[in-house]
Amino acid sequence: MTVAVFILSLCGAMALGMPIAFALLLSGVALMLQLGMFDARILTQNLIIGSDSFALMAIPFFILVGELMNAGGISKRIINFGLALVGHIRGGLGYVAIMTAFIFAGLSGSAVADTAALAAIMVPMMADAGYEKSRSAALIGSGSIVAPILPPSIPFIIFGSISGVSIMKLFMAGLLPGAMIAVSLAITWWYMARKKNVKVYPRKSFKEILIATKEASWALALPILIMVGIKGGVVTPTEAAVAAVFYTLFLCFVVYRQLTFKDLTKILISAAKTTSVIMFLIAAAMVSSWLIAIANIPASIASWLEPYMGSKILLMIAINILVFIVGTAMDLTPTVLILTPVLMPIITKAGIDPVYFGVVFILNNAIGLLTPPVGTVLNAACGAGKVLMDDLMRDVMPFLIVETIVLILLILFPDIVLVPLKWMLG
């Protein structure tokens, strides 16, 4: 009965169009009433505790890095770097899009922000070269979902803060799956573009490649500095985020000189608005998380999954089917906030490595960003690329399929994540 109260109140509130943060609070109130322990002071206390975390302080700084990157000329230089390397290959602009999305992911940690920034620049460029706009936007959106599983992934920070799993280990464990997504997209694009009659850019000279590399090198160094700093124990993820902001400001104002203090005001306001939405979601979810633990809902869910508890792979398949279904109807952040406190006790009881589960869980949710009806990355690609949603949904399917195959491989073969992680951690 308690599980039904929670699910029905949450889904009912969202069905009425209530913002997810308020729907989470309402479901918390419903649980309190069901348990006979309603107290407004508990709601207030858990709201404050929900956002009172040192690790969560990394989120506003990484969001600010993404905003600065998009406004400060960094995006354009990364794209020019990709063009210099592979622009002369048939289908080269597609490879540039994948490469740039991978690099963007290491700068911002947000799939939606990366999609909007990259699609606005590259979809018109690819259309002029003879590529279909909807397919180009689909490729860019599909490439951008590596952002949640590559450092400095904002979803990893949220998941780690709620579950208690090491954010540094999550960052390290996401590197290979992120590379697998990029390679799978490149292979799919090669198959689709090999017979296309599209514009091929002239091969750049060695000198031109060096110039493009030099222009982009400052930006390309940032993800490396973040990972080296965190891996070496020099900085925490939060401290790395602060350092990344100062580094990006240095690039925008001193190296590239494409921002003014007037621009900075707009960027700060935009970053603050995005941060406020995410942090309020997290705070509201902590109310529900606390009540989920009090009501012992994980035990109820575990009893439903009891037939699969004897096999880690079968349990992971069952959980990921559930997450995939939820991901089609809910955005990544609220899904992580709602399901993490429910699933982690089950994962712990089954003896599944929590870092491995975190990578698979976040990747599954990232794929959900490409699935209707919610699909926030689809909406971002549609708006920034100025394409019809029906066309985009059709053209995204091949990329969605290969990314789902990567997810299945990670579920069936956990060592893909665990073995490289052990090697990187020494």
CB 181 within 8 A of CB 416: no
22 within a domain of the structure (yes/no): no
pLDDT of residue 326: 77
pLDDT of residue 414: 94
The closest of 294, 396, 298, 281 to 339, measured between CA atoms, is 298
The closest of 156, 149, 159 to 339, measured between CA atoms, is 159
405 within a domain of the structure (yes/no): yes
pLDDT of residue 1: 62
Q: Per this entry, what is the length of the chain? A: 426
CB count within 10 Å of CB 363 equals 29
CB 136 within 8 A of CB 384: no
User: What distance in Å separates the CA atoms of residue 205 and residue 128, rounded to the nearest whole number?
Assistant: 23
What is the mean pLDDT of the segment spanning 399-413? Answer: 95
What is the mean pLDDT of the segment spanning 210-227? Answer: 84
pLDDT of residue 359: 96
What is the mean pLDDT of the segment spanning 79-96? Answer: 85
In the chain, how many domains are there? 1
pLDDT of residue 296: 66
pLDDT of residue 183: 94
As a whole number of Å, the CA-based R_g of the chain is: 22
What is the mean pLDDT of the segment spanning 137-155? Answer: 89
pLDDT of residue 142: 92
281 within a domain of the structure (yes/no): yes
User: What distance in Å separates the CA atoms of residue 233 and residue 211, rounded to the nearest whole number?
Assistant: 34
Helix 354-368 and helix 389-412, axial crossing angle in degrees, nearest 10 = 160
The closest of 310, 335, 333 to 322, measured between CA atoms, is 335
Q: 0.85 exceeded by the pTM? A: no
pLDDT of residue 304: 77
Q: What is the percent of the chain with per-residue pLDDT over 90, rounded to a whole number?
A: 18
168 within a domain of the structure (yes/no): yes
CB 378 within 8 A of CB 372: yes
187 within a domain of the structure (yes/no): yes
Place of tokens 């390309």: 220
pLDDT digits (tens, 9 = 90+) for 156-211: 988 998 888 988 899 999 999 999 999 999 999 998 887 777 777 788 888 888 98
31 within a domain of the structure (yes/no): no
Of 129-143, 199-213, 288-302, the one with minimum mean pLDDT is 288-302
CB 208 within 8 A of CB 84: yes
Q: pLDDT-based confidence at 353, cuts 50/70/90?
A: very high
Supply the mean pLDDT for the chain. Answer: 82
pLDDT digits (tens, 9 = 90+) for 21-67: 777 777 777 777 777 777 777 777 777 766 666 667 777 888 788 77
User: What distance in Å separates the CA atoms of residue 40 and residue 348, rounded to the nearest whole number?
Assistant: 32
17 within a domain of the structure (yes/no): no
DSSP letters of 287-346? Answer: HHHHHHHHTTHHHHHHHHTGGGTT-HHHHHHHHHHHHHHHHHHS-HHHHHHHHHHHHHHH
pLDDT digits (tens, 9 = 90+) for 92-104: 888 988 988 888 8
Sign, CA torsion 180/188/124/214: positive
Q: pLDDT-based confidence at 295, cuts 50/70/90?
A: low
Q: Answer whether residue 250 shows pLDDT above 60.
A: yes
More confident residue, 416 or 112: 416
316 within a domain of the structure (yes/no): yes
Domain encompassing residue 410: 39-424
pLDDT digits (tens, 9 = 90+) for 354-387: 999 999 999 999 998 888 655 778 777 877 778 8
Encoded tokens for 332: 């990544």
